[in-house]
Amino acid sequence: MDKKSLRVIATAFGKGRTHDFRLFKESKTRIHPEIRSMTDTGFQGIANLHANAALPKKNAKKNPLTKQDKADNREISRQRARVENVIASIKRFKIVADKYRNRRKRFALRFNLIAGIYNHEIINAQPRL
Instruction: Evaluate the CA torsion angle 108, 124, 85, 43 in order and state its sign.
Output: positive
End-to-end CA distance of the chain, in Å?
Answer: 23
Question: In angstroms, rounded to a whole number, what is the distance separating the alpha carbons of residues 54 and 37?
Answer: 6
Convert the pLDDT of each residue in 59-117 to its tens digit.
888 889 999 999 999 998 888 888 888 888 888 887 777 777 777 777 778 888 888 88
| Confidence tier at 121 by pLDDT (50, 70, 90) | confident
Convert the pLDDT of each residue in 15-72 to its tens digit.
777 777 888 888 777 888 888 888 888 888 888 888 888 888 888 888 899 999 999 9
Question: In angstroms, rounded to a whole number, what is the distance separating the alpha carbons of residues 8 and 18?
Answer: 20
Question: In angstroms, rounded to a whole number, what is the distance separating the alpha carbons of residues 123 and 129?
Answer: 13
pLDDT at 129: 57
pLDDT at 71: 94
Backbone angles phi, psi at 54, to 5 degrees: -120, 120
